[in-house]
Amino acid sequence: MEERPMLLILYATQTGNALDVAEQVGREAERRACAVRLLSLDEYDASSLPRENAVVFVVSTTGQGDAPDSMKGFWKYLLQRNLGQHWLEGVHYAVFGLGDSGYQKFNFVAKKLDRRLSDLGATAIVERALGDDQHPSGYEAALDPWMTSLWNMLNKVNPNLFPNGPGFLISYEKSIGQPKIQITYHTIDKEGSEFSTNSDLKHIEMQIERARTMSPGKFSNNKNRPDCFLKMIKNQLLTKEGCGKDVRHLEFEFVSPAVEYEVGDVLEVLPGQNPTAVDAFIRRCNLDPEVFVTVSPVEVENNLLRSHLNAAKFPIKLKSFVELTMDIASASPRRYLFEVMSIFATAQHEKERLQYFASPEGRDDLYQYNQKERRTVLEVLEDFPSVQMPFEWLVQLVPSLKTRAFSISSSPSAHPNQVHLTVNVVSLTTPFKRKRSGLCSSWLSQLDPQQCTYIPVWFHKGSLPPPPPSLPLILIGPGTGCAPFRGFVEERAIQSAADTTAPVMFFFGCQNKENDFLYKDFWLSHSQNNGVLSEAKGGGFYVAFSRDQQQKVYVQHKMREHSQRLWSLLSEGAAVYVAGSSTKMPSDVLSAFEEIISKESGVPKESAVRWLRALERVGKYHVEAWT
């Protein structure tokens, strides 16, 4: 008997979104009676690709056009010169990309992958689709129509994939089946302690590692054990009280062995969740907070929803597992939660509303209700009281509690045994006037340095490599984008005390001189008396106050004012570092550089663009942007 063909779905994710999409594509294929194999790209042998018939790739773009870590080995294999233009002949593929159009290299990875597969002889089933975080309906606006085309075209390529045709659909009730997670409950006769401020550090570390190893979430740093723990020693408001902005300067000390870091590095923080919200979630779901559990994946025949967890050896208290792994009161849930909730709803009107939300027709209304209003899992569950879901489903469907990344704003040379952060406390109002605040930034802002709270953290390299003292620098960091450059300036000041250092020009921007001129005294002190930012040393410090006059002034305007000096530094081999909001700022700054180079060197704009690309290629144009 001939083996039934399978649709292979390969994904590369950094924060979990591409995995969500890959699973959604897999579920929709299964609803059409199509057999599915789903794998992360780092679990797949790239040399097998020519033997595949139909492959769907779901890949995200991270940072400034970078591939997720899990894709790097696969991509390197694909770039081998000996593969040739017929290597993938007969292979049919489709690409769905996830990106953010606020970044200059929007969906760069998906575009490169599509081009490379085509160059190697593979045939596209449908045109690639590019999901955009900035779209009013998120990436699903591109995903739904793309999937509709995919099934129809895939059926033409290989009708055997769909034994009943692409229009055949198994009902949600029948297709959803069993959860992919299994919970084992344990009777333990000893006292289990919570993730709290007065627990033993080793115990907290063990709890975090145990919980996050069992969780089905794919964590961005791929390390479940924290690098170390910090304790807050300073919590200082940088903005004027009552101005509508809350930016903090936070200082931390190592309370476990110190981790060596460099300027430009990034700190990831695991935020604490509101205990009231955790208790409310546990009550709403009729869970026993004191019971001990182990969480493991259910092996499924076709690998769909493969889990990335190792079977945990040690049980953990249910409440601790929820606190450390399940984002119950901050992140909005995915559409799949509404599908599964519709199965468990006992009130007919709730069931119908959930089914509508889960359908393509209800996508925009779901977006208004869910993402636009930033509804949390807890709020959604409270809105549909007839739904009682088993804990297995909740573990599978509640968004993972992710670490939050912050640019480090201190130099380890200037502050041994310390780490400093510059944190904007996120606060917003939804279209229906509901107040929302950032989980991690709010939690950090409310910590009292007088009380000992152990903060689990991870260190990693950011997009801004530490510059040698001999390298001239042009720094552009409006708002909290100034954070890493505070560390750069501290470091350069220490270096200049011992030896001659290259000039530093820094362009800072904020709204008002009185309200949000972050670190004003720090910058001014280094721009005077032959400091590293002083014009006397060949550098300079320039501020754009965007709201202090009728006409808005931004960092790019200040750059144009000093175009001669900027070009002079660039000609001497300066490196450019840009940090801040990912919306328009990085592209506006790049345009300003293009104009300045064209004007000062007398070359056409196209040549200036090529000059900047060359600067980027040799590692002298760095951007770290965030939404």
Within a domain: 455: no
pLDDT of residue 195: 44
**What is the per-residue pLDDT for 481?**
96
CA torsion through residues 406, 456, 260, 490, sign: positive
Residue 409 φ then ψ, to 5°: -110, 30
CA distance 116 to 78: 8
- Given a cut of 60, whether residue 231 has pLDDT beyond it is yes
Domain boundary among 170, 195, 220: 170
> Cα separation of 385 and 261, whole Å?
48
Give the rounded percent of residues in the chain with a pLDDT score beyond 70: 94
- The mean pLDDT of 307-332, rounded to a whole number, is 81
CATH number where 539 lies: 3.40.50.80
Domain finish residue from 170, 197, 222: 170
Q: Which one has a higher pLDDT value, 66 or 396?
A: 396
Q: Is residue 480 a part of any domain in this protein?
A: yes
Is it the case that residue 516 has pLDDT exceeding 60?
Answer: yes
How confident is the model at residue 414, as a pLDDT? 96
For 569-582, the pLDDT digits (tens) are: 999 999 999 999 87
Q: What are phi and psi of 254, to 5 degrees?
A: -70, 130
Bigger pLDDT: 535 vs 222: 535
> What CA–CA distance (Å, rounded) separates 561 from 336?
52
Mean pLDDT for the chain overall: 89
End position of a domain, from candidates 126, 142, 170 = 170
Note the pLDDT tens digit of each residue in 67-92. Answer: 888 999 999 999 998 998 899 999 99
Does 408 fall in a domain? no
Of 3-7, 154-158, 288-292, 411-415, least confident by mean pLDDT is 3-7
Phi and psi angles of residue 557, each rounded to the nearest 5 degrees, phi first: -70, -40
pLDDT of residue 308: 41
In a domain, 382, yes or no: no
SS3 129: strand
Q: Give the model confidence (pLDDT) of 124-134 as tens digits.
A: 999 999 998 87
Residue 386 lies in a domain: no
Domain total of the chain = 2
**CATH number of the domain bearing residue 123:** 3.40.50.360
Query: What's the average model confidence in pLDDT over 426-446?
Result: 91
* pLDDT value for 299: 65
What is the secondary structure of 258-302 as a DSSP string? PPP--TT-EEEE-PPPPHHHHHHHHHHTT--TT-EEEEEEPP-TT
pTM value is 0.86
φ, ψ (nearest 5 deg) of residue 236: -115, 130
pLDDT at residue 53, rounded to an integer: 87
In 3D space, the residue among 421, 374, 587 whose CA is nearest the CA of residue 519 turns out to be 421
Sign of CA dihedral 23, 25, 27, 30: negative
247-254: strand order across its sheet: 404-407, 266-269, 455-460, 228-237, 247-254, 418-424
- Please write the tens of the pLDDT for every residue from 190-221: 544 444 444 588 889 999 999 998 888 654 44
**What is residue 3's predicted lDDT score, i.e. its pLDDT?**
67
- Averaged over 550-572, what is the pLDDT? 94
Look at residue 199 in the predicted model and tell me its pLDDT: 55
- Residue 576's domain comprises 473-626
Q: Would 161 be classed as within a structural domain?
A: yes
pLDDT score of 162 more than 50: yes
pLDDT above 50 for 303: no
State yes or no: pLDDT of 533 exceeds 70. Answer: yes
Cβ atoms of 598 and 587 closer than 8 Å = no
- State the Cα–Cα distance between residues 183 and 297, nearest whole angstrom: 9
For the chain, give the number of residues.
627
Share of the chain above pLDDT 90, in %: 68
Residues 587-617: pLDDT tens digits?
899 999 999 999 999 999 999 999 999 999 9
Q: How much is the pLDDT for 360?
A: 78
- Asked if residue 325 belongs to a domain, the reply is no
Read off the pLDDT band of 31 (50, 70, 90). Answer: confident
In a domain, 190, yes or no: no
> Can you say whether the dihedral through the CA atoms of 615, 616, 617, 622 is positive or negative?
positive
